[in-house]
Structure 1
Amino acid sequence: MPHMLILGMGYTASRLATRLRADGWQVTGVRRTADVEALAFDDASAVRAAIAQATHILSSVPPAGDADPVLTRYGADMVAAPAIWTGYLSSTGVYGDAAGAWVDESSAIGFGRRAARTQADTEWGALRPDMRRFRLPGIYGPGRSALDRVREGRAHRIDLPDQIFSRAHVDDIVAGIALSLHRGPPGIYNLSDDLPCAQNRLIEEACAILGQPVPPLLTLEEARLSPMARSFYAENRRVANGRAKRLLGWAPRHPTYREGLRACLWSALH
């Protein structure tokens, strides 16, 4: 039986674990605190034993400060692991600001605001020859989409019409990772949908789906966003996904936000 070890059971990784278990995989998770489905990150003996036993290993843990906690604590164990497949969930934020231009896996990295993420991405890429790095854009899905922000009165439209973002439905990301378990070479894969666009278009579509009024158009200053939310608007790029399509046979089930938001609504109703 294939055995996947997932370090960091967040939103995306938890959905991957559910899919793999349904497909007959053994899945071991690692979280900050142990529970019935996961080991505790600080239980070094148990985590090292799991690393030594797993056939496949994925880290979805983001950097903490200037360092990657998994590499700091378990990097040497990862190098020695007998696994046949290893992966890391990175971010398209490593590409930095492209002034709205397209970026792909060959584009330079390290010019954006996420220096620690870029460093972690680079270190994971150098760790093992079987490493897959999945660079992910804005992730949305059930319980975490523009629909939820509109319902909760947290949706904003910002007056930056030329600001373009890429995104992906969480289940399309899971599908891409799952495909890579059986096909495609090691390396970098952007898992992004087919329609980069302004964030305002998502909010407007969500309002239309829910029959809610569209929020007013605001400047960044008027929106009074948190520093983290404001930093989201500091970069502008379109993320190309052709490599994943060619080498993994990946085809997003939700190629644009339109299909993706309606899938989120269907999930909420069922």
Structure 2
Amino acid sequence: MRLLVFGLGYSASHFIRLHGGRFASVAGTFRSPEPVAGIASLAGVERLPFDGRTPTGAIEGAIRTATHVLTSIAPDEAQDPVLQLFGEALRRSPALRWVGYLSTVGVYGDAGGAWIDETAPVRPTLARNAVRAEVESRWLDLGREGGVDVQVFRLSGIYGPGRNAVVNLKRGTARRVVKPGQVFNRVHVADIAGAVMAGIGRPKAGPFFNVTDNEPAPPQDVVTYAAALMGIEPPPEIPYDDARMSPMARSFYGENKRVSNRLMRETLGHVPLYPTYRDGIRACLDADG
């Protein structure tokens, strides 16, 4: 197997660290002139600059030889730069067998706190998630046209080493914003990697999988638990209506749902390594000190 990753960001880089050794070769694109922290430690990975606007011969060459493509690049306001610039090359690729697309549970929109699964209608309430839903469909179209297995992994709130409540508490940026009845699902980055690898092992399954933990919970509970593990007082609770938040942060509170991961567990066979935020936060405390 030969892997090409579009977007060597947080999740994709962890996938390579955990499972890159299963591939005969690994290549990945990065956008910033100075790649994100951690990419330099990915031994044996061919790094391909990609500004999101200009196709390159190096990337097109990697497409021709890749058997597996994982794409984690978010679309812009209207389209997916990978599909726009490399869609035809992917359709023509003689080697390509599988594509995994990292999406978001945000495509479901608001469910009023109810449980949902992959059969729930896609009703995004935010423009950025409406684009995501459209991009999902276009990746599936590419798969049908090119005879390639495509799987869409809908991710909940991502956390893991270096990106978690423990780190936020140490930095003094953690807050306990309380909106009554609000819950979120989360997923440890190692479970994203595990689900993607399970999908590669079962390429005909899907095409949609919610990649998330077992226990949706109020966001303030995560901070409270992390503080207790650290032996410190948590920050004070802030009523949602009084909280100062960016428009992006506030938009997340406009959607309330409990997301089931049954298909991930039963069809892909990936049982979460960190089934609750408590399991994941304990691991983060060990990793981040």
Shared fold (TM-score, shorter chain, > 0.5): yes
Letter in 2 for 1:138: G
Question: Are the equivalent residues in 2 in contact too, given 1:220–1:230 (CA < 8 A)?
Answer: no
Counterpart among 223, 232, 237 of residue 243 in structure 2? 223
The separation in 1 between residues aligned to 2:124 and 2:187, in whole angstroms, is: 23
Q: Deviations over 1:46-87 (max 9, x none)?
A: 111111100101110001122111111111112222311111
> Please, which of 163, 166, 170 is the counterpart of residue 147 of structure 1?
166
Amino acid at match of 2:48: L
Q: In the alignment, which residue of structure 2 is the partner of 1:39? A: 48
SS in structure 1 at match of 2:179 = coil
Aligned to 2:41: none
Aligned pairs for 1:185-204 (under 5 A) are 185-204=205-224
Match in the other structure for 1:119: 134
- Secondary structure of 1:224 counterpart: coil
Alignment-derived partner of residue 80 in structure 2 = 68
Name whichever of 63-72 and 27-36 sits farther off.
27-36
1:131 maps onto 2:150 in alignment: yes
**Residue among 115, 119, 123 paired with 1:106:** 119
Structure 2 match to 1:54: 66
- Computed over aligned residues only, the root mean square deviation of the Cα atoms, in angstroms, reads 1.6
The code of the aligned residue for 2:137 comes to T
2:39 matched to which residue of 1? none
Q: Decide whether the 8 Å contact of 1:20 with 1:27 is kept in 2.
A: no
Instruction: Give the aligned partner of residue 15 of structure 2.
Output: 16
Please identify, of 106-115 and 34-43, the stretch whose mean Cα deviation from structure 2 is larger. 34-43
1:15 partner amino acid: H
| Deviates further, 22-31 or 47-56 | 22-31
1:168 touches 1:193 (CA, 8 Å); kept in 2? yes
**For the structure 1 residues 25 and 265, does the alpha-carbon distance in structure 2 shift closer, same or farther, using more than 3 Å as the test?**
farther
Structure 1 residue identity aligned to 2:108: Y
Partner amino acid, structure 2, of 1:160: K
The Cα shift of 1:24 comes to: 4.8
Q: Number of aligned pairs?
A: 268
Structure 1 position 106, deviation (Å)? 1.3
Give, in whole Å, the separation in 1 of the partners of 2:23 and 2:141.
31
**1:268 aligns to 2:288 (yes or no):** yes
CA distance in 2, matches of 1:215, 1:103: 32
Q: Which runs of 4+ in 1 moved over 4 A?
A: 33-36
Q: Gaps spanning 5+ residues in structure 1: where?
A: none
Paired amino acid for 2:172: G
Distance 2:90 2:105 in 1: 24
**Residue deviations 1:32-59 (CA, integer Å, cap 9, x gap):** 2577741112352111111110010111
Looking at structure 1, the residues matched to 210 and 201 of structure 2 have their Cα atoms a distance apart, in angstroms, of 17
Distance of 2:143 and 2:106 partners within structure 1? 23
Give the TM-score of the pair, scaled to structure 2: 0.88
Q: Deviations over 1:97-130 (max 9, x none)?
A: 0001112111111332122212212222222041
Quote how far apart the aligned CAs of 1:11 are: 0.2
Query: With structure 1 as the length reference, what TM-score do the two structures score?
Result: 0.94
Aligned with residue 247 of structure 1, among 267, 270, 273: 267
8 Å contact kept, 2:11–2:193 = yes
Match of 1:256 among 260, 276, 281: 276
Is the 8 Å Cα contact of residues 9 and 31 (structure 1) preserved in structure 2? Answer: yes
Which residue pairs with 1:238 in the alignment? 258
**Corresponding letter in the other structure for 1:197:** A
Give the fraction of aligned pairs with identical amino acids, expressed as a percent.
Answer: 40
Residues 123-132 or 37-46, more deviating: 37-46
Worse-superposed segment, 217-226 or 132-141? 217-226
Alpha-carbon distance between aligned partners in 2 of 1:110 and 1:77, rounded to the nearest angstrom = 31
> 2:99 matched to which residue of 1?
86
Report if the CA contact (8 A) 2:55-2:86 is conserved. no
* Aligned-residue offset at 1:21: 2.6
> Of residues 182, 188, 195 in structure 2, which corresponds to 1:169?
188
Query: Is 16-25 or 238-247 further displaced after alignment?
Result: 16-25
Deviates more, 1:178-187 or 1:11-20: 178-187
